Amino acid sequence: MSMSVAAPQAKGKCAEDNIFAANNRANALAEKIGVDKVTNGTVGSLLDEDGNLVMLDVVQKSYKALTPKEIVSYAPIQGYPDYLEAVIDQCFGESRPDGYIRACATSGGSGVLHHVIHNYSEWGDDVLTSDWHWGAYNSMCIDNGRKLREFELLDEKDQFNFASFKEHVTNMVSKQYNTVIIMNSPANNPTGFALTEEDWDHVLAFLQNIIKDKDKNIILVSDVAYLDYSGEKHECRKFFKKFGNLPANLLVIVSYTLSKGFTMYGQRIGAMIGITSNADVAKEFVDVNQYTSRATWSNSNSAAMKAMVNICKDPERIVELDAERAKYFQLMKERAAIFMTEAASAELKILPYLSGFFITIPMTNSKAVCDIMERQNIFLVPLKKGIRLAVCSVSKKKITGLAALIKAAITEAGAQQ
């Protein structure tokens, strides 16, 4: 037994992130044999066709123009007021829901999820998300003494599995005071799936009904980390309108981040946006979450907030921002189209991809298949029930031919789809 001095609840915690591990192996190999000979499909950031990390031009210019004061100041704990206005505007666009809307700055989308779990579920509670989800959700729950519970995202027709969703929510509401649900749509990580307008209607009608006249609450987290690359600007935001006029015991919290939409991953800035029909719930939202910010990381990154605000207050720069995003959205669409066309001809099954940074190939034995791929200098992420391919980072040239190689590796490993 190795020596340990960690407190009992912290003993045994170990972040073995297989995404970063595979990425490190890919980078080490690229250094040795050349970048052009390695395909790194693990990276969750936008890379251009030459494999360089993209920082949007309009964001670069904004950073370079920041004053020392904008960079180093302590910002208000809740975030600069003009930043909070800018995130609400950027997030919802034309589809701002009715009701009280409040925002608090956070350390990226991760900060939002932490605060929601911490402030809206109890010690020992279950927190619900779909079986296909971002792995960090699990660590965030466990680190806070909660348990992540999974409904099946897709039914046998590869459509939203409303029956599974209903079953889990019904059970949780019967047992818990609060039910926190994390819904990562559109551009779900890792599948690229999104709920349709009708799916959202069913979900919201059901949620309202199940807590009607009950002393119970539902907190629905809309994780839109990849929103800005999920479709036409106004079209992909339409569903936000549905979050207005909901009962007071159904609070919607949008998890908004500048990591992807502004390519500011490492700057750690985002916001939680609460939408409620009740003034008390709106006030409490700011009070409890601001308190938790003070009690964890204190205030948020001033430079990052100001870099965003200075873009958003200038209509010309917003045009530039939208054009750059549209360009990269198009690029990912082209990469995904190559892969999906080839997957169809190779009879390689993939999960329904609509948009976003990742495509998932469902299978058993994903680790063995990834190992075979690695021998060919191709790095992918093994998940419990499949493999994740990052279309945000693999060039059109390198993605060409990949589907057939994965199909062959599945056969070699004796994996099932």
For ligand PLP, the binding residues (CB under 6 A) are 44, 108-110, 134, 184, 189, 223, 225, 257, 259, 265, 270
Q: How far is the CB of 202 from ligand PLP (least distance, A)?
A: 22
CB of 106 to ligand PLP, least distance (A): 8
The answer to whether the beta carbons of residues 292 and 258 sit under 8 Å apart is no
In the complex, least distance from residue 112 CB atom to ligand PLP, rounded to whole angstroms: 8
- 293 contacts: CB under 8 Å, gap ≥ 6: 77, 78, 104, 105, 106, 111, 115, 299, 300
Q: Which residues make beta-bridge pairs with 55?
A: none
Q: Least distance from C-beta 134 to ligand PLP, angstroms?
A: 4
Task: Output 128 or 348, the one with its CB closest to ligand PLP.
Answer: 128
* Shortest distance (Å) from residue 416 CB to ligand PLP: 27
3-state per-residue secondary structure call for 72-122: HCCCCCCCCHHHHHHHHHHHHCCCCCCCEEEEEEECHHHHHHHHHHHHHCC
Nearer of residues 265 and 297 to ligand PLP, judged by Cβ: 265
Cβ nearer to ligand PLP, comparing 78 with 277: 78
C-beta contacts of 311-320 below 8 A and 24+ residues apart: 311/58, 311/59, 311/62, 311/262, 312/86, 312/89, 312/90, 313/82, 313/86, 317/58, 317/62, 320/57, 320/58
Minimum distance from residue 102 beta carbon to ligand PLP (Å): 19
The DSSP 8-state label assigned to residue 352 in this structure reads -
Taking the least distance from each CB to ligand PLP, the nearer of 35 and 136 is 136
Q: Are 87 and 227 in contact (CB under 8 A)?
A: no
* In the block, residue with structure tokens 């949780």: 172
User: Which is nearer to ligand PLP, 99 or 192 (by Cβ)?
Assistant: 192
Least separation in angstroms between CB 383 and ligand PLP? 13
Rounded to the nearest whole angstrom, what is the least distance from the CB of residue 114 to ligand PLP in the complex?
9
CB nearer to ligand PLP: pick between 142 and 248: 142
Edge-to-edge strand ranges of the sheet holding 250-257: 100-106, 270-276, 250-257, 217-223, 178-184, 126-130, 147-151
Taking the least distance from each CB to ligand PLP, the nearer of 62 and 257 is: 257
Q: Taking a C-beta distance cutoff of 8 angstroms, is the pair 164, 142 a contact? A: no
Q: Which is nearer to ligand PLP, 189 or 230 (CB)?
A: 189
Measured CA to CA, the distance from residue 415 to residue 417 in angstroms comes to 7
The CA-atom distances, in angstroms, between 79 and each of 6, 211, 283, 399 are 34, 33, 15, 41
φ, ψ of residue 396 in degrees (nearest 5)? -60, -40
SS3 (DSSP) at 45: coil
Contact 379, 31 (CB under 8 A): no
Kindly state the smallest distance separating residue 301's Cβ from ligand PLP, in Å: 12
Min CB(165)–ligand PLP separation in Å: 18
CA-to-CA distance for 283 and 237, rounded, in angstroms?
25
Please, which residue, 237 or 407, has the CB nearer to ligand PLP?
Answer: 237
204 vs 291: CA distance, rounded Å: 29
Measured from the CB atom, the residue of 26 and 113 that comes closer to ligand PLP is 113
Q: How far apart (Å, rounded) are the C-alpha atoms in residues 239 and 257? A: 18
Whether the CB-CB separation of 163 and 138 falls below 8 Å is answered with no
Nearer to ligand PLP, 110 or 161 (CB): 110
Task: Measure the CA–CA gap between 106 and 301, rounded to whole angstroms.
Answer: 9
Smallest separation (angstroms) from ligand PLP to the CB of 265: 6
**What's the maximum distance between 2 C-alpha atoms anywhere in the chain?**
65
